[in-house]
Amino acid sequence: MLQVGIVGLPNVGKSSLFNALTSAGASAENYPFCTVDPNIGTVEVPDPRIRKIRELTGSGESVPTFIRLVDIAGLVKGASTGEGLGNHFLGQIREVDAIAHVLRCFEDPDVTHVMGSVDPLRDLGIIETELALADLDTVERRQEKVEKKARSGEKDGILEMAVLDRLLQALGEGRPLPSIPFSQEDRAIVRELNLLTLKPVLHIANVGEGEMEGGGGTFLSGFLSALEEKRAGEGGRTLVVPISLAIEAELAFLEPEERREFLSELGWDEEASARVIRAAYDLLGLVTFFSTNEKQARAWAIPRGMRAPEAAGVIHTDFQRGFIRAEAIGYEEFIELGSMKAARERGAIRSEGKDYVVADGDILLFRFNV
C-alpha cells in the first residue's frame, strides 16, 4: 500500500490533518513534539464510481482503494544535524512514497508557533533546506563508497560517480533535483539513493475558519496566495491544497447525518479532507481500474501508463503469468448502458491484448491460463 508522510514544523496542524483524514484521534495538543512515535492509519480514496458499479452489477460489497498515512513528528531548523528529534524523523520520511507538507496560514494568538510568528514561505524554506541537507549528506556518503571503484577504472563506478557529482552540484547550488534531466540508466542510480527532495510533495495550506467565502470553500488567505505564486514560479511541480483544519476537526467526529447537515450549512458537497486524499492519489500518478463479480466490486490503484498484464498481476500473480487478454469497458460507457448484459449485447466489451495501457475508470475482466 502506498504511503504518504505528513510533515511540517511543530504545531502547524499535522496531527489535526491526520485526525481529519482518518478520524483516528491522534494526539494534537498545543505544544512542540507532541507526536514522537508516528501515527499510522489507512484512509479510503473517495471514489463514488465503485458504489455505482456495485449497484449495477449486483455485487455483494464494494471495496475501495486505500492510502496509508504516516503522521511524522515536527521537524525543526537543524534537524539534519540532529536538532529537535532530528535524523530519526528524517528516516521516517525516507520510507514514504510522497510528502504532505502542512503549512500554517492563519494568525491566532492562542496557538503558539515554534518560530514565534506565522510565515508559511519561511516555514516551507526551513523544511526544504533540512531535507536538502539530509540528501547532501546521503550523496556525500555514497561518493565516499564509490570513489575507489571509479579511480580503479570500473565502468559502473565511473558512471555512478558522474551522477553523484551532478546531484552534489545541484544540491550545493540549491537547485531542485526534479528539474535535472537524467537518462534511464542514470535514474536507476538516483532511485537507489531514495532522496527526500525527489519525493512528490503536496502542500497543505492550513487556513483559519474565517478565511473562506460562503459557497464551496473558496479560501481568501494572503498566505495561500504566496504559496500559489511560489508553486507557479517552480513550474507547478507541487500541488497546493487549502484546508481549514479547525472545521475539518469538527466534521471528523460527527455522525453521518450531522456531518451532512454541517456541510450543507457550509455550502460544501464534501469535506475538504476528501480533496486532500484525491490530490495525494493524483500526485502519486495513480489511476483506478475496477473488477466486479457476484461477491464484490473492487477498485485497484495502479501507476498511470501500466499495461494490462501488469495490472492483472496487481490482482493475482497468476493473472499476469497466464495472461491471455483483458475484456474491458470504460466506466462512463458502462453507466450509460446500465449493465454488463446490455454491454455484451451491444458489443461494447472490448478485447485488449498485452500492449493495452489501462485507462482510469476501466472495468476489466482478465482471461488467463496457467
Please indicate, yes or no, whether residues 85 and 219 belong to a single structural domain of this protein: yes
Give the amino acid at 311.
A
Q: Classify the C-alpha dihedral 105-106-111-117 as positive or negative.
A: positive
**In the chain, what are the helix, strand and coil shares in percent, each to the nearest 5?**
45, 20, 35
Domain membership of residue 220 (yes or no) is yes
Dist CA 163 CA 186 (whole Å): 7
Task: Say whether both 108 and 9 belong to one domain.
Answer: yes
Mean pLDDT of the chain: 82
Where among 283, 315, 334 does a domain terminate? 283
Cell readout for 288 is 483506478
Reading the block at residue 285, the C-alpha cell is 500518478
With the C-alpha atoms ordered 187, 192, 198, 200, is the resulting torsion angle positive or negative?
Answer: positive
How open is the CA angle 257-64-303, to the nearest 5 degrees?
A: 135
Residue 33 has pLDDT above 60, yes or no: no
Place of cell 565502468: 155
Residues 346 and 274 grouped into a single domain: no
pLDDT computed for residue 31 by the predictor = 39
Residues 214 and 356 in one domain: no
C-alpha distance from residue 247 to each of 23, 69, 244, 254 (Å): 13, 20, 6, 11
Q: Using 50, 70 and 90 to split pLDDT, how confident is the model at 283? A: confident
Together in a domain, 248 and 206: yes
Domain endpoint, select from 228, 249, 283: 283
Cell numbers for 146: 564509490
pLDDT of residue 27: 42
Beta bridge partners of 101: 7, 203
DSSP H stretches of helix in 98-233: 120-151, 155-173, 184-193, 222-233
Tens of pLDDT, residue by residue over 173-185, are: 888 888 788 888 8
Q: Is residue 334 part of a domain?
A: yes
Share of the chain above pLDDT 70, in %: 85
Residues 327 and 214 grouped into a single domain: no
pLDDT in the model for residue 109 = 75
Taking the C-alpha atoms of residue 364 and residue 94, their distance in angstroms, rounded to an integer, is 34
What's the confidence (pLDDT) of residue 37? 56
Point out the least confidently predicted range of 33-37, 113-117, 161-165, 276-280: 33-37
Are 25 and 96 contained in the same domain?
A: yes
3-state secondary structure of 281: helix
Averaged pLDDT for residues 153-160:
87
At 288, give phi and psi (nearest 5°). Answer: -120, 130
Do 249 and 361 fall within a single domain? Answer: no
pLDDT of residue 67: 87
Does 28 lie in the same domain as 89?
yes
Q: Which amino acid is at 218?
A: T
- Whether 233 is in a domain gets the answer yes
Q: What are residue 330's DSSP bridge partners? A: 362
Residue 169 has pLDDT above 70, yes or no: yes
Confidence of residue 220 (pLDDT cuts 50, 70, 90): low
**pLDDT reported for residue 221:** 61
Residue 65's SS3 state is: coil
The verdict on 218 and 312 lying in the same domain is no
Residue 161, domain member (yes or no)? no
Residues 205 and 235 reside in one and the same domain: yes
Predicted local distance difference test score (pLDDT) of residue 284 = 85
CA 261 to chain centre: 29
Confidence band of 76 (pLDDT split at 50, 70, 90): low
Mean pLDDT of 16-29: 65
Domain boundary (251, 283, 315) is at 283
Q: Is residue 57 part of a domain?
A: yes
Q: Residue 271: what residue type? A: E
* Residue 92 maps to a domain: yes
- Percent of the chain exceeding pLDDT 90 equals 30
Determine the straight-line distance between the first and last CA of the chain, rounded to whole angstroms. Answer: 27
> Does any domain span residue 132?
no
Q: Of 251 and 77, which is predicted with more confidence?
A: 251
Run of H or E residues at 95: none
Residues 249 and 330 in one domain: no
- State the average pLDDT over residues 341-356: 95
Give the CA count within 13 Å in the CB-facing half-sphere of 262: 16
Q: What is the number of alpha carbons within 13 Å of residue 149 lying toward its C-beta?
A: 14
Q: How many structural domains does the chain have?
A: 2
Residue 170 within any structural domain of the chain: no
Mean pLDDT of 188-195: 90
CATH number at residue 363: 3.10.20.30
pLDDT band at 22 (very low <50, low <70, confident <90, very high): confident
Residue 367: pLDDT over 90? yes
Q: What is the CATH number of the domain that holds 112?
A: 3.40.50.300
pLDDT(233) > 70: no
- Domain range for 328: 305-368
Confidence of residue 212 (pLDDT cuts 50, 70, 90): low
Q: Of the spans 157-171, 176-190, 352-366, which averages the highest pLDDT?
A: 352-366
CA distance to 37, 209, 224, per residue, from 220 (Å)? 35, 11, 8
